[in-house]
Structure 1
């Protein structure tokens, strides 16, 4: 299992991007969470197998029809949490 910390910048708030990320996480069997940050970006913590995470990240880069992805920062981090699903944090 691999855990990624992702920051997505662009038009990603108020366009359903967190829900889009949750839908894609469920599709690929990825666990973790997504939340809005005060600077207008979205933070995602995602855990899964490499192939599933690769597909998940590829879809995040495209976004949903209402979002516009300008930049993604992706870092592999040490596994510190055991997630049971993919949730949206408020």
Structure 2
């Protein structure tokens, strides 16, 4: 359970969203894009793990294995706004 430090006050706000049809469509599109980006990152990192495992099974030394891929955006070399286009039902108007 969270307990604030002595002398500190914790305050929170709760908001209810009531979007109109256009706003709801935009929210769904943004959520879908975030999910697609997350799935891409997971598959990108996982692919290197499987590649390293396969290489190790062939007896390739640690120093010659495919390099590890980082989880972070800066470490991945990707930049926001430079993602490839993903075609999905939530991305179409």
* Fold agreement, TM-score > 0.5: no
Of structures 1 and 2, the one with the larger relative CO (CA 8 A, separation 6+) is 1
Q: Which has the higher helix share?
A: 2
Query: As a proportion of its length, which structure holds more strand?
Result: 1
* TM-score, with length taken from structure 1: 0.30
